[in-house]
Chain A
Amino acid sequence: MADLRLLRMRCYWRLAVFRTGAVNAASGSAYAEIGDTKVIVSVFGPRESKKAMMYSDIGRLNCNVSYTTFATPVRGQGSDNKEFSSMLHKALEGAIILDSFPKTTVDVFALVLESGGSDLPVVISCASVALADAGIMMYDLVASVSVSCLGKNLVIDPVLEEESYQDGSLMISSMPSRDEVTQLTITGEWSTAKIHEAMMLCLDACSKLGKIMRSCLKEAALASQE
């Protein structure tokens, strides 16, 4: 099993693709494709907050995640995902320097084009690339990875099928270069030792993913300079 995991680890960053500037109409955007999971995130703003909002010294972050009707194997309704929206908000909130845009709002909208498992981590990572593309000040990029526990085995970056059989799942969103975690969620059945192992696995993958994200942004910056 360990071999398989290593194999998956290697596959993980071979299959991860990020591209900035996917949506021209947005201030910043990114497209991410990790395995079969395909996500587009647009960032708008900082722009005027809703009229009903109270005055605020710091900026606001507004997140929304939705699915296309054809994202899932069975045709869905393609509606908003409230849970993911608030999770995305919480994962990014800690990384953005909200003081840098007082009174205004930054909107982060994500659309899952195809769901192939580990949707939320991909959305979070993609959103942080899009935020960077929009020039929103952040302490660091947020890389997010999840691990599924299948019996005795740990599977990193689970695909849809693995997620459906999992006994438990653990997701970490971290800022790799600061070695800080912005979000940690654990669901299901876990032993303490397993949690420790899974967390190490995740943090390691996060730092690798962070490098891929960083290199994508560097490439984009270089290309725009030329």
Chain B
Amino acid sequence: MGPMNDSSDLSSEMEVDAFRRLFPLRFHERHLLESIRPDGRPLGRARDTTLAFGAVASADGSALAKIGCTTMLAAIKMEVMTPTVESPNEGCIAVEFHMPPICSPTVRPGRPAEVAPVVSKQLSDTILRQVVMTFSGMIDLKDLSLVNGKAAWMAYLDIYCLDADGALFDTALLSAVAAFCHLKFPMVSLNDDGRVVVVSGESKGGKSGKEAVNKEQRKLNLISIPFSLTCTLHNNYILADPTAEEESIMETLVTVVLDSSLQLVSFYKPGGPVLAFTSAVMVSSDLQKAII
């Protein structure tokens, strides 16, 4: 092992777990030399991803996404509201990302995690993309209108992190998109006062359907579907879909979000050592395409 110094001698004597804890960086560098990661993945491989729709019965749309051990539960609740004067024919979406204390040993009750508001902001940016003039969002807010100027849908999207093990944003976005796919508008009707109210009651449901069904009961039309991939960069290695341990040791994180038409939605790299970017951008987006 070339670049290893004193610790490599130690490593032969030490137990693997102890070495991992005491010299985390060297432990990982040692793996990188062999182009393999501690969990047995090659560098460019993402973890197994699973998706389950309708995990929350009390919500109008919900999904549970899992990437490796990272688990996110997203649920949407719809409420009828009066649209704003500025945009009478548009609904509204509120995105909130929560990291309850159950998800990670670093989160304590009463002291919200530092990353929670940041992920929350990133998510709402990605989903809503509030850039005026040109419309480019994932969802046409006009689809959320019920009666022009009178009533529109307010969609509350809440994403709960149940288990945090790296790639939080990726998993959260996946669960959010899946929840919107699963979303079914509740029935509404006009009551005696001429106001729009939600009618409670069961309704028959198809699962896939992407086209709008009818005025009363329909699915949301998703214009473009964003996919995200986080990578860590360490020297000239690129590791796709890092675990929490990898994220904490290798500081450079890059999150690339592409949508279904392969447009770049976000290229997010907060700090970290400088990197030879052009190649990295290319590789990350290539990896991304491979995963889609």
Contact = CB atoms under 8 A, between A and B. Distances in A.
Whether A and B touch directly in their complex, counting CB atoms under 8 A apart, is answered as yes
Interface of A: 22-26, 29, 36, 40-42, 44, 47, 64, 66, 68-73, 75, 78, 80, 107, 109-111, 113-114
Contacts of B71: 23
13 contacts: A23-B103, A23-B163, A24-B163, A24-B165, A25-B165, A42-B102, A47-B105, A64-B101, A66-B100, A66-B101, A109-B101, A109-B102, A109-B109
Contacts, number: 81
A69 B58 contact: no
Contacts of A64: 101, 109
B98 A26 contact: no
Contacts of A111: 100, 102, 160, 162
A68 B158 contact: yes
A70 B59 contact: yes
B57 to A, nearest CB: 7
Contact of A69 (B96, B104, B109): B96
A114 B77 CA distance: 13
Contacts of A66: 100-101, 109
Given A42-B102, A75-B79, A111-B102, A25 B163 contact: yes
A87 to B, nearest CB: 15
By CB atoms of chain B within 10 A, which of A22, A66, A75 has the most?
A75
A16 B16 CA distance: 40
By CB atoms of chain A within 10 A, which of B156, B163, B164 has the most?
B163
Nearest to B79: A75
Interface residues of B, number: 30
Contacts of B62: 70
Contacts of A72: 58
Interface string B79-120: 100000000000000001010111111001110000000000
Contacts of B73: 68, 113
Contacts of B151: none
Given A24-B69, A69-B98, 11 more contacts: A22-B162, A22-B163, A23-B103, A24-B163, A25-B104, A68-B100, A68-B158, A70-B56, A73-B58, A110-B102, A111-B160
A107 B58 contact: no
A23 B102 contact: yes
A44 B163 CA distance: 13
A36 B57 contact: yes
Contacts of A25: 69, 103-105, 163-165, 244
A107 B244 contact: no
B102 A40 contact: yes
Nearest to A36: B57
Interface in B237-290: 244
Given A23-B163, A24-B163, A25-B69, A78 B57 contact: no
A36 B56 CA distance: 10
